[in-house]
Structure 1
Amino acid sequence: MGSAPSVWAQTSSFPITEQQRATADRVAQAGVPLSELAPNAPDSHTVKPGDTLWDISKLFLTNPWRWPELWGMNRDQISNPHLIYPGQMLVLVKIDGRAQLQLAQQRVGAQASDADGSGKLSPRIRVGDFDGNAITAIPLNLIEPFLNDAVVFDTDELATAPRIVATPEGRVLLSRGDLAYARGDLSQATDYRVFRNTRPLLDPISQEILGYEAPYLGTAELKRPQQNSEQADGKIEIVPATLMIKAVRQEIGIGDRLSPMPQRSFSRYIPHAPNAPIKGQVISIYGEGLNAGQNQIVALNRGRRDGLERGHVLALWQQGRSMVDSTSDKREIIKLPDERHGVLFVFQVYERVSYALIISVKDPVKAGDSFSQP
């Protein structure tokens, strides 16, 4: 299983020469070999609402993560992706043993025409900045909830983070609009995420702690800072800070921790294969499940320091089981080969841990399953 060309990489931990970059650009702009096309690839496709680049690429390619090649995207265009809109027609162009997918631009209320007015379809490429009406690379609705929910801290910093210490009238659980009282340093921000105490993420092989996963509970807004005052007898009266609960994803209560709300990242996710071979294991299924299926989230034991980045596509492997060879007089133990049975899409990367969406899978995924470059 070889890795795909390095044309997709915007940043990399591995040195790339100018000659390699030039070669990658030429390959990308040339399209893909006809052998990479899906057996029933259509000659054209009209984009529908709800389509994604991944969905469309599956119509045309055996390996949908190679769509930047199919679109003839060079490195500059990757950072400024093609914008494709519902209603546009995509045309598969085959020249000299290679294929490219292009847009057939049409005038509204008129017959499709090319630049010289001949009335023929003219394949063109439309490139522009981010546009909310354009179709996305993958279904963002599947990962957006986890951009806040799935959080890993490199150190157990939440152990000393500000904490909720009391609730009005002794309430056990807090809802949206309720007040909460907290102690700790709340001078860093006005808006905070609320987390339960962290749990360590352990490497399935070495059992080394790779990070600390924190269950996300909701958000809160600081209304009044903590106020300490010295009393007449010299004692310090501690008045906790007041916060209002703005959103609740899970139950919030006394002892839960607060962390400043980070800036949201709206970067487009460009599916691409890693530049170099990589192997690792699934640490856990997000949400405490024992098994996971399509469109669920898993934590991986590789991160930024290992060369993973947002948008990486990975192959899932199921470990071959051990069994007794009943055909042998010696009754020997044999191990069946590992089998590839799914595809992962990395959408959140930390220093030593990443989160990935299961794009497709044949059998349930469990902790300890392995992954590699596709």
Structure 2
Amino acid sequence: MFSIALLAGCASRPAAPVDNVQPVIDPPTAQPLAARALPELNAADLDAHMRADAPLRYVVKPGDTLWAIAGYYLRDPWYWPQLWDDNPDIANPHLIYPGEVLILTRSADGQPMLARARTERLSPHVREQPLDNIATIPLDAIRAFLTGPRLVSAKQINAAPYVVSFVDEHLVGGKGTTVYIRDIDLDGAPTESYSLVRDSGPYTDPVNGEILGRQAVPVGEIDIDTFDTVSTGRITRSYREALVGDRLLPLEQQDLVRHFYPHAPGAPVDGRIISVYDGVAAVGQYQVVTLDVGEDDGIERGHVLDIFEAGRVVRDPVKGGQVQLPPLQSGQLMVFKTDARVSFALIMRAQRAVHVGDTVAAPQA
């Protein structure tokens, strides 16, 4: 944890710890928002997106996110970068902290903008505080995803080393259990730490049935003690009970960063929700979903997409026959991690229950 010297009145507090799961966090940069790809609205258009009850003054609280703060000001929070765009007072909105006061003002061309409140000069009073600046989305909501499925190919999972038995003929294993492993590659310098995973079936394209990859569900982590034809290792971290046949894969780089910029895709998107973290049927705010579109389809971190529930088929009481009702918007999500064929997103808003099979599309301005 970093420390930073702050003047009195700009206090912050450390984020609540999460056992065994810590994402890699990138340091904030001072790059102005104007240098990034952002949705472009003129002053009049941005005014049209402002909430009528937007506060003139807001005190940043611990646990706030940029998305949540923008929701106090904008009907469509994903336009939040323009509240800070070309704002010399807040060159990087990620460098605001709990306790700071934001005021709603206007730029020279009349565009609404947020600025730091000016305060009277105080005599220096320095104290050490943990660095706890504001993230884009609630990190606690995606930390759990680090123990969720990862996408691998059938070739990868079938060629991976596997657990052949546990010490003392145990049927299951947990943290601290010694395990016996086959098929570790002994050539060169073999890896000493692995992710222990279980093949939980395919990610399937809901339209054409194509297999997009396999779901490798993390079970825990293993450190190898001895390398041989049958190697031995020890489970150092446990998310689920380990079973004979579970596979070993390289530890995945957990690059879930704090700072990225919500924006609309530059092209139409035609995707579907194909899976929900932890397998629940109905999805709500701040739950993680998998989409059947990824980097190959132009999807990138920060893309905001509208969610649509497929229209029901009902009977026409007058003319008879069946009528397909139009799709109904049910929420909005933001992509926070991408793969070539799939992407992973957090539900930011849910007006009604979201389901596997719902479609996603670029938002309409």
Q: How far 1:22 moved relative to its partner? A: 8.8
Q: Which residue, 228, 243, 246 being the options, matches 1:256?
A: 246
Identity of aligned residues (%): 36
Partner secondary structure for residue 101 of structure 1: strand
Amino acid at match of 1:207: G
- Give CA-to-partner distance per residue, 1:19-50, whole Å, 9 cap, x none: xx999789589796211111211111010111
- Aligned positions of 1:253-332 closer than 5 A: 253-265=243-255, 267=257, 268-326=259-317, 328=318, 330-332=319-321
Residue equivalent to 2:158: 159
TM-score (norm 1): 0.78
Q: How far 1:81 moved relative to its partner? A: 5.6
Amino acid at match of 2:233: L
Residue equivalent to 1:170: 169
Q: Distance in 1 between matches of 2:220 and 2:324?
A: 46
Answer yes or no: is 1:333 the counterpart of 2:345: no
Residue equivalent to 1:17: none
Answer yes or no: is 1:86 the counterpart of 2:98: yes
Residue equivalent to 1:15: none
The size of the alignment, in residue pairs, is 318
- Partners of 1:153 and 1:211 within 8 A in 2: yes
Q: Distance in 1 between matches of 2:153 and 2:334?
A: 22
Amino acid at match of 1:251: E
- Partners of 1:31 and 1:100 within 8 A in 2: no
Pair 154,312 (structure 1): closer, same or farther in 2 beyond 3 Å = farther
- Partners of 1:173 and 1:253 within 8 A in 2: yes
Q: How far 1:137 moved relative to its partner? A: 0.8
Residue equivalent to 1:102: 115
- Aligned positions of 1:117-128 closer than 5 A: none
Pair 334,201 (structure 1): closer, same or farther in 2 beyond 3 Å = same
Q: How far 1:332 moved relative to its partner? A: 3.3
Amino acid at match of 2:78: W
- Partners of 1:28 and 1:73 within 8 A in 2: no
Q: Distance in 2 between matches of 1:45 and 1:262?
A: 39
Amino acid at match of 1:164: V
Q: Distance in 1 between matches of 2:181 and 2:118?
A: 58
- Give CA-to-partner distance per residue, 1:151-206, whole Å, 9 cap, x none: 11144411110001111110111111111111112554221111112411111111
Partner secondary structure for residue 282 of structure 1: strand
- Partners of 2:306 and 2:333 within 8 A in 1: yes
Q: Distance in 2 between matches of 1:306 and 1:242?
A: 42
Q: How far 1:248 moved relative to its partner? A: 0.7
- Aligned positions of 1:225-264 closer than 5 A: 225-226=227-228, 238=229, 240-264=230-254
Amino acid at match of 1:142: A
- Partners of 2:184 and 2:231 within 8 A in 1: no
Q: How far 1:295 moved relative to its partner? A: 2.0
Partner secondary structure for residue 45 of structure 1: strand
Pair 26,54 (structure 1): closer, same or farther in 2 beyond 3 Å = closer
Q: How far 1:339 moved relative to its partner? A: 1.1
Q: How far 1:88 moved relative to its partner? A: 0.7
Q: Distance in 2 between matches of 1:97 and 1:242?
A: 68
Pair 188,69 (structure 1): closer, same or farther in 2 beyond 3 Å = farther
**Residue segments in structure 2 that go unaligned for 5+ positions in a row:** 1-33, 124-129
- Partners of 2:221 and 2:238 within 8 A in 1: yes
Pair 346,191 (structure 1): closer, same or farther in 2 beyond 3 Å = same
Q: Distance in 2 between matches of 1:243 and 1:354?
A: 33
Q: Distance in 2 between matches of 1:73 and 1:254?
A: 57
Pair 106,211 (structure 1): closer, same or farther in 2 beyond 3 Å = farther
- Partners of 1:194 and 1:259 within 8 A in 2: yes
**Residue segments in structure 1 that go unaligned for 5+ positions in a row:** 1-20, 111-130, 227-237
Q: Distance in 2 between matches of 1:177 and 1:26?
A: 50
Q: Distance in 1 between matches of 2:352 and 2:153?
A: 31
Q: Distance in 2 between matches of 1:213 and 1:304?
A: 18
CA RMSD of aligned residues (A): 2.7
Q: Distance in 1 between matches of 2:256 and 2:206?
A: 32
Q: Which residue, 203, 216, 219 being the options, matches 1:217?
A: 219
